[in-house]
Structure formats: structure tokens, C-alpha cells
């Protein structure tokens, strides 16, 4: 089984029936693992596999992934019940920001961490 599929299964299973705060923590931890392992290029495959799993289970999800660099830029995927949009914003410096179903914002960007530190 591919690493992308393993991450997608883990993401789907652990976010199912969770509240906003729990989902934010789960996605943040997954992004940390992907970043720590230097596997940012796997994000596209993780999202594609997540879409397939969600479609097979009759779930609808909208994901917006914002990255500092254009490794996944300008890609808009529509697969049955899942819509994924990738956006590039160099102002976030590094990392990623993930929006799920327009409700959940997981800011794992360097700019977000700088903003958190400056508020302390």
C-alpha cells in the first residue's frame, strides 16, 4: 500500500465523526508528520486517496490547501463528492494552511506560527 494511501486512510478514519477542534488537531499532526518526513510532495496523492475514500463512503468534503510554493499550484480536482483546490501564497513563507468544508482552518504555516509567537 502506498504511503499516500496510508496517510489518507489515517486521515479519513481519525476525522470521521469528530468535532472541529479534534479535526484541526488531527490534520495539524498529519501535516507535521508529512513535513517532518520531508514528504510534502505526497500531499497531492494523500488528497486524491482521501477523495476516493470519501466518495466510496458517500461523504462530501471540500478541501482547500494553501502552500507557500507552487508544488501543487493551480490544481482543481472534482471527484464526485469531494472538491479540492490548491492555492499558492508565498506570504505564508512555508508549511501549509488547510480549510475543510469551509469551516475548519488548520494553519500550520510559518507565518501562522510567527503570528502566534508575536501574540504571546
Q: What is the CA radius of gyration of the chain?
A: 14
Tell me the per-residue pLDDT of 57-109, one tens digit each, with 9 for 90 and over. 877 666 777 777 765 444 444 445 566 777 888 899 988 888 876 665 788 88
Beta strands in 9-72 (DSSP E): 61-67
pTM of the full structure: 0.52
Q: How far is CA 18 from CA 15, 42, 61, in A?
A: 5, 24, 14
CB 81 within 8 A of CB 95: no
Question: Closest Cα partner for 109 from 101, 55, 117?
Answer: 117
Amino acid at each position: 500500500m502506498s504511503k499516500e494511501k496510508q496517510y489518507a486512510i489515517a486521515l479519513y478514519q481519525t476525522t470521521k465523526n469528530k468535532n472541529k477542534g479534534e479535526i484541526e488537531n488531527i490534520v495539524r499532526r498529519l501535516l507535521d508528520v508529512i513535513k517532518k518526513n520531508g514528504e510534502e510532495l505526497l500531499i497531492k496523492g494523500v488528497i486524491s486517496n482521501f477523495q476516493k475514500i470519501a466518495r466510496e463512503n458517500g461523504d462530501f468534503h471540500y478541501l482547500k490547501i494553501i502552500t507557500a510554493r507552487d508544488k501543487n499550484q493551480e490544481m482543481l480536482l472534482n471527484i464526485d463528492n469531494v472538491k479540492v483546490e490548491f492555492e499558492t501564497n508565498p506570504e505564508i513563507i512555508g508549511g501549509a494552511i488547510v480549510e475543510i468544508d469551509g469551516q475548519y482552518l488548520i494553519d500550520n504555516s510559518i507565518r501562522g506560527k510567527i503570528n502566534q509567537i508575536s501574540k504571546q
